[in-house]
Chains A and B, each alone.
Chain A
């Protein structure tokens, strides 16, 4: 998992750059390719933490963790922060060194923040809906497709793309696309923060209800 950003950077710098010599119009979609790769990489910590939590539930350890002398949900919060930090770091590395698309430092930071919000959404989706690790793997695969779904938006007629705005990940893609237009970028960033947070909170409540009530 920790080598994935390096692999993606190499794929972008060598593979995609080489491929675009044979498929010239690919250069128009560099931003979309980078967004897609970054989404997948940023989501990997979600899979790791989701499976750790499911494993702990299977072994009844989640009950022991609740009677430790720690503030409420302390370990869960640490894990959420951990996967967000990883998501942020992975995204930042890919966005900074992909060699296909270039961002200002401020854009790098803000877009990486949006990518860092993907892991909690995915983890809580897995925890809220999966009954076991096999179901979790299936849900993770399905969510991997959902992460890519906003790509479709950018091949639809004008303004139809905003129908995809209900998917939080769409706004991350939109932020990358509009990185050079401050007003549109700001709207995309704020919409991304809002939709990711709202969905993550909703899924967190579902997870709490399913596991602990």
Chain B
């Protein structure tokens, strides 16, 4: 669906390249996450894929076509949700959607169900200038899916949203995957990436450090142990190796004789692995010492 080979991009005003020789491929129906701190090259890569930046080196094939040669019809096949809201503030939510829908080959017959899904139906006739950032972002998202595109490019799709509305957006993203849509997400939100993505790429300073499923990535750095917290007059906890756990008499003894408060496997979080692999924090450029 998306094939990127040896992609290099340098902004005209910069000395060095922002994206440095990266290669990856995304299958149809896959949710692919680009995870990295601000300035890592995530949005630049997305801008190249949506043709906002063109003077790149390398080869990109999307939907079987050479990306450099694809015409404006390509935009009928993609939906883009930008990191920042971008609407006509003096128009209502509905007017904004109707205006932009006019340009697409496939237009929704009724916009209200779409707005309903993201909790904006009652605000359909409200001018966007009265919307909060979260509402504008939800409207951004609706605009990106309203023309039934094959590929979705989502830049920080839950940015500025409360957990309830972020949940709604994530559910729709997962539904899009079920419908066979390909989703490219750029984010520094590891929880969203962990929950949504089939595969994740860590990008730092324009270089891809690792590409794998969240599960495999987390197993790279986690300890193969379970931690049991129990009450025995006082609260205690103990760790046991996963290997031979069923035959571990100490473990079984604790389970039998104590009131168990919690049992957790000690796998690492994506952020832990990100720091291990890249030496950087997801939320900043700073090296972790």
* Those of A192-206 within 8 Å (CB) of chain B: none
Rounded to whole angstroms, the CA-CA distance of A60 and B155 in the bound complex is 14
Tell whether B104 is near chain A: CB-to-CB under 8 Å: yes
B86 and A59 contact, CB distance less than 8 A: yes
The chain B residue sitting closest to A68, CB to CB, is B103
A64-B100, A69-B73 known; 12 other A-B pairs, CB under 8 Å? A59-B86, A59-B87, A59-B89, A61-B87, A63-B82, A64-B143, A67-B51, A67-B52, A67-B75, A68-B104, A69-B72, A70-B72
Q: Is the interface of B mostly helix, strand, loop or mixed?
A: loop
Rounded to whole angstroms, the CA-CA distance of A69 and B86 in the bound complex is 17
**Which residues in A have their C-beta under 8 angstroms from that of B84?**
60
Rounded to whole angstroms, the CA-CA distance of A31 and B12 in the bound complex is 49
Rounded to whole angstroms, the CA-CA distance of A43 and B3 in the bound complex is 49
Tell whether A183 is near chain B: CB-to-CB under 8 Å: no
**Which residues in B have their C-beta under 8 angstroms from that of A72?**
72
Contact with A along B82-124 (1 / 0, CB 8 A): 1011111100000000001001110000000000000000000
Contact with A along B1-32 (1 / 0, CB 8 A): 00000000001110000000000000000000
Interface residues on B, range: 20 to 34
- A203: shortest Cβ distance to chain B, in Å? 19
**Which residues in B have their C-beta under 8 angstroms from that of A69?**
72-76, 103-105
Q: Per a CB cutoff under 8 Å, which of B13, B75, B88, B89 touches A68?
A: B75
Tell whether B50 is near chain A: CB-to-CB under 8 Å: yes
Contact with B along A45-85 (1 / 0, CB 8 A): 00000000000000111011011111110000000000000
Q: Per a CB cutoff under 8 Å, which of A60, A66, A70 touches B85?
A: A60
B87 and A67 contact, CB distance less than 8 A: no
Contact with A along B51-87 (1 / 0, CB 8 A): 1100000000000000000001111101010101111
- A69: shortest Cβ distance to chain B, in Å? 4
